[in-house]
Structure 1
Amino acid sequence: MLRAAVKLIVTGDDFGYCPRRNQGMAECFLAGGISNVSLLVNGSAVSNAVQLAKRYNIPIGLHANLSEGSPVCTALKEKSSLLNAQGFFHGKMGIRTALAKGLLDMSEVKQELTAQVELFRELTGHLPHHMDGHQHVHVLPEIRNIFAQVLKDYGITYTRIPIEPDLPRCKWIDPPLMAFYQSVEKDSLNTVDVFREHGIRWPDIYIGLSTMGKNMSVANILAAIDNATTAHLLAKEDDSSALPSPRVSLDQGTGSVTIELMTHPGYPSISPVGGCGEGPDDFSQSWERQHELETLKSAELQNHYRTRKVELCAFQDL
């Protein structure tokens, strides 16, 4: 197996969703399980999250949200193409349906994304170190162009492109979820050129779809890192081969490979506390959130990182 020095960014998504998720992510960071977090500025516990990030010096980025809960832009709170009949965002699949039907006003997408960046800066005192999309909305058609322009306007350099090289072999993923992941990867492939044109960068490799929730284990994380790294190095040796992921090297010739592992650790939300205006969803209330927390904190995983010379870092360290 080909080997390379690995710089691993372990991102905890949905920071700010509820106090229990926040507490778990802070503990996970302090235990070396994650290396940065992605903040939902419309989350019901966003203030608590920001306080924890400041207290423990947790590197923090923006988890741009156009699919769950309420907007932060005042002008869009009562009437907007981004809202359903109940006055909330359309949902993970609802936004995709509305987009496909041509129902979304892209000027309102820009208003909301801009408002979220500004609120992030107001809350934290700085711009995001990175910015990605809740439920992968940032790679959707049309939205990807607005997202890229907002990043360029603010000088936010780093994002996430959710294309996982090893996904086809992951037969353990339930078929409906695999179908969604494949649609996300298709959108992501079509996003690469847009982000490149705007000078946006992302890690060499992304993993996280195959290791989410009940599918997270020490073995699965290590296999995903090894398999993706091997594929990346083979592709670099043979320029005629095409990785299923964008090759935008962050190593500047140092010989290292940079990977982002997307995670969702924390203690499960307990209704009615949490959410982004509608209360916590099933995903956040699941036992799988704590399973991820315990796996990422495990001494076994930490020892493997040290043995394999995997260096945890954050986007701000790149």
Structure 2
Amino acid sequence: MLAEKLGYRADERLLIVNADDFGMCSSTNRAIASLLEEGAITSTTLMVPCPWMMQAAAIASRHPEFDVGLHLTLTSEWDDYKWGPLTSAEVQRSFEDENGYFRKDNRSVARTDQELIKRECAAQIETALKLGVDLTHLDNHMGSLHGAMGAGRHFVDLLIELCVRYKLPLRLPRHPFPMFPHDESLVELADSRGVVFPDYLEGLPFALEPGEDTDSVKTHAARLLRNLQPGVTELIFHPSFVTEELKGITDTWPVRQKEYEVFRDPDIRLILAKENIKLIKWRDLRDLQRNE
């Protein structure tokens, strides 16, 4: 059991609260940095190809106590705010549009040669390391490398290979997560290669359902916390300050603002205490992997 390897009882509930999209824009960077400073969340993941990555990397290098992983990025989903690959190629790759940006959908990643994917992922990791970011884990924007959202093909074996090379744990839940196609053989492969990964993955809804308002973000969070299973769970979400910058990027800004507030909310913090949920970091998993 992972919990026992980390020094806890097998029946204890351990939680990593991870903010995705560090580096996407300044509004998101500043919100995530403030949550890390307060201890309201335990980790974040950096999007290296994004326009505000340098600000995020500078924050991470100034705060080595912050838990910062890498959000491997091969898609660019917004219409008016784009980013593209770090690597170049003589011919247009399937994940690139005619302007050299990443495409919006995961299917474009699935059509790309694995060697080109590997080069791009390695370039993103190496760039973060050169900028002084002490990476704690790997995960993946929009789950494109996991075959999520109708991609039809995964690159999880490549992710495992990168985790072995860089001695990093991986967002690969041992138990099924609705967004990711589950393949027990990949779980067994990660185990056999010594890669550490959480037992469960949970996420706050990315957008509101019809009839919902932003208060539903808190309702979802409370329900998730009360129903956590024993073991290690990573909970992912996308907090940000609301600014004209963020409003110009995405119409999901009301949810992102509420997600900034939710783990600062006294009621949510009280649930964590009453349910005796232990907050841990990806760094704990990384240390376990490197020590083993």
- Give the TM-score category using the shorter length: 0.7 to 0.9
Within the alignment, does 1:267 sit opposite 2:241 as a pair? yes
**Contact 1:19–1:48, Cα closer than 8 Å, also in 2:** yes
Task: Measure how far apart 1:63 and its partner are.
Answer: 0.3
Contact 2:27 2:243 in 1 (8 A): yes
Q: Secondary structure at the match of 1:297?
A: coil
What runs of 5+ residues in structure 2 fail to find an aligned partner? 1-9, 77-82, 148-152, 209-213, 286-292
Q: Using a 3 Å threshold, how does the CA distance of structure 1 residues 18 and 47 change in structure 2: closer, same or farther?
A: same
**Distance change >3 Å, CA 317–CA 290, structure 1 → 2:** same
Structure number with the bigger relative contact order (C-alpha 8 A, sep ≥ 6) is 1
Instruction: Give the 3 Å change call, closer, same or farther, for CA 158–228 of structure 1 in structure 2.
Output: same
Please tell me whether residue 185 in structure 1 is matched to residue 152 in structure 2: no
1:230-265 Cα offsets, whole Å, 9 max, x none, are: xxx5xxxxxxxxxxxxxxxxxxxxxxx211110111
Shift of 1:191: 4.3
Question: How far has the Cα of 1:30 moved from its partner?
Answer: 2.4
Which of 44, 50, 72 is 2:86 aligned to? 72
Counterpart Cα distance in 1 of 2:23 and 2:184? 29
Specify whether residues 77 and 144 from structure 1 end up closer, same or farther in structure 2 by C-alpha distance, changes over 3 A only. Answer: farther
Q: Distance in 1 between matches of 2:27 and 2:282?
A: 25
Return the alpha-carbon distance in structure 2 between the equivalents of residues 125 and 28 of structure 1. 18
Q: Size of the alignment, in residue pairs?
A: 259
Task: Check whether the contact 1:161–1:188 (CA below 8 A) recurs between aligned residues.
Answer: no
Q: Is contact 2:57-2:132 (8 Å) kept? A: yes
- 2:209 is the alignment partner of 1:198: no
The answer to whether residue 164 in structure 2 is matched with residue 156 in structure 1 is no
In structure 2, the residue matched to 1:280 is 249
Label 1:77 to 1:268 Cα distance change in 2 as closer, same or farther (>3 A). Answer: farther
Residue in structure 2 matching 1:104, options 112, 115, 132: 112
Closer/same/farther in 2, CA of residues 197 and 137 from structure 1, 3 Å limit: farther
Specify the SS of the correspondent of 2:95: coil
Q: Secondary structure at the match of 1:317?
A: helix
Distance 1:161 1:97 in 2: 24
CA distance in 2, matches of 1:87, 1:70: 6
Describe the superposition over 1:25-52 as per-residue Cα deviations: whole angstroms up to 9, x where unpaired: 1122223321011000112111211222
Q: Deviations over 1:82-130 (max 9, x none)?
A: 2122321122x2x32562xxx311110000001011001011253x211
Q: Residue in 1 aligned with 2:13?
A: 6
**Structure 1 residues 210 and 282, CA gap change in structure 2 (3 angstroms):** closer
Aligned pair partner of 1:19 in 26, 32, 46: 26
2:128 is equivalent to residue 120 of structure 1: yes
TM-score normalised by L of structure 1: 0.72
Paired residues of 1:18 and 1:269 also in contact (CA < 8 A): no
| Cα shift at 1:227 | 2.5
Please tell me whether the aligned partners of residues 61 and 131 of structure 2 are also in contact (alpha carbons under 8 angstroms). Answer: no
Any unmatched runs of 5+ in structure 1?
Answer: 166-181, 234-256
| Alignment partners' CA distance in 2, 1:210 and 1:163 | 19
State the superposition RMSD in angstroms: 2.9
Deviations 1:199-243 (A, max 9, x none): 3221112111558664754442232233341xxx5xxxxxxxxxx
1:234-245 matches, cutoff 5 A: none
Identity %: 22
